[in-house]
Amino acid sequence: MKTLLEPEMDIQNNENQDLHTSDQDHYLQTFRRFPITIDRGEGATVWDINGKSYIDMLAGIAVNNVGHAHPKVVGTIREQAGKITHISNFYLSRPQAELSERLVRLSGLDRVFFTNSGAESVEGAIKIARKYAYSKGRGGTIISMDGCFHGRTIATISTGKASMQTGFGPLPEGFVKVPFNDIQAVHDAIVEAGPDQIAAVLIELIQGEGGINVASPEFVAGLRSLCDNHDILLIVDEIQSGVGRTGKWFASEHYGIKPDIMTLAKGLGGGVPIGAILSTQNVSDAMDYGDHGTTFGGNPLVTATSLAVLDVIEEEQLLEAATAMGEYIRQRITAMNHPAVLQIKGIGLMLGIEFAHETKPMVAALLEEGVLANATAGNVLRLVPPLNITHEELEKAMDAIEKVIGALS
């Protein structure tokens, strides 16, 4: 008989079985799927094809910031699809122009370039940083952090952990890693390479895949100062932490710093594929016509949708909600005082509960209890629900989480 932490994961009905069999027969097998098929969603709740409901504490990995099927977002998609969806970047659309202006205003940066994903945003940021360095007669080395995750393209895996690089060599040169939250290590790497060889430092202020590791204020302040002193660009990856997830539009606001380049994706489109690169005018001036491009990036459909997402966050005061709901999660977990809970990490609704054991069995048990969550960095339970999750939905999810934690021996 299965225990709570060893749930029955069999695929239950014929249609679900057939879909999973088809997936296994035809899709490139790079994902370990959970044995359900999601059919629809509303707010922070989704339903599988059997009609079972789940509270979504993952939000498509911090993507669905305004939940599923938000009426304003759905209405915008329908309206824009009825007008025009794609025109290429030879031509301008109203939604793209309006979104560019909106993001520049929100970020305090000066220029924006639209992409289709987070990895593409980081790739573009690296290109911009290297072009800026080239214009100054400098080298193009990029410093990244241990525990980072910036994507799965060849360049972005070159910034990250070795396990994601195996079998994909030869990798591009010009990438150096240092320990996270260690300003002396960054300084030493700059000195070792030579300050004029470093183009940029690339950092997530809250490491997502790395286990919801939060940069210390002292480290970030020191990093900004170090970059300024050596004319090294600071690239802040806000792909997971941006667009309201931490209770502010961007995580960098918690630290009182302005990056030279910032990358966005995930929550920016509320479920449609859009990313962005933002940069200062000084950095942007290094780029010329033809230096970068995109076919799909920033098309009318995705930029109109993104504008609707930003409207919802403002109109429904979801920055404040993210802070309040994040605090509620912390209070519930803290009140349990369970010995297996080592710490709660993160800001707002980008949270990780670190345990004294692996968390994948907990995620499986939570699925059985009707909650979608995620295990990352081995022993961290990642919680990144929609910013507009209701108190009732969150309470139900936390009851399930407490039940699963309580079943731990």
Whole-angstrom distance, CA of residue 386 vs CA of residue 219: 29
Predicted local distance difference test score (pLDDT) of residue 4: 44
Predicted local distance difference test score (pLDDT) of residue 1: 32
Q: The whole model's pTM is what?
A: 0.95
Whole-angstrom distance, CA of residue 202 vs CA of residue 143: 6
CA contacts within 13 A on the Cβ side of 131 = 19
Task: Return the amino acid letter for 172.
Answer: P
Q: What burial letters (b/e) apply to 177-204, b meaning 16+ CB within 10 Å?
A: bbebbbbebbbebbeeeeeebbbbbbbb
Q: What burial letters (b/e) apply to 36-70, b meaning 16+ CB within 10 Å?
A: bbeeebebbbbbbeeeeebbbbbbbebbbbbbbeb
Q: What angle do CA 73, 76, 81 make, to 5 degrees?
A: 125
Predicted local distance difference test score (pLDDT) of residue 13: 78
Q: What burial letters (b/e) apply to 331-342, b meaning 16+ CB within 10 Å?
A: ebbeeeebeebe
Predicted local distance difference test score (pLDDT) of residue 12: 56
DSSP state of 163: G
Alpha-carbon torsion (329, 327, 272, 297), positive or negative: negative
Q: What angle do CA 131, 141, 180 make, to 5 degrees?
A: 125
Predicted local distance difference test score (pLDDT) of residue 167: 96
Q: How many beta carbons lie within 10 A of that of residue 25, not counting itself?
A: 8
* Distance in angstroms between the alpha carbons of the first and the last residue of the chain: 17
Locate 228 and state its tokens.
Answer: 């300024």
List the one residue out of 234, 199, 200, 240 whose CA is nearest residue 219: 234
pLDDT tens digits, the chain, 409 residues: what are they? 344 444 444 545 799 999 999 999 999 999 999 999 999 999 999 999 999 999 999 999 999 999 999 999 999 999 999 999 999 999 999 999 999 999 999 999 999 999 999 999 999 999 999 999 999 999 999 999 999 999 999 999 999 999 999 999 999 999 999 999 999 999 999 999 999 999 999 999 999 999 999 999 999 999 999 999 999 999 999 999 999 999 999 999 999 999 999 999 999 999 999 999 999 999 999 999 999 999 999 999 999 999 999 999 999 999 999 999 999 999 999 999 999 999 999 999 999 999 999 999 999 999 999 999 999 999 999 999 999 999 999 999 999 999 999 998 6
Task: Return the amino acid letter for 68.
Answer: H
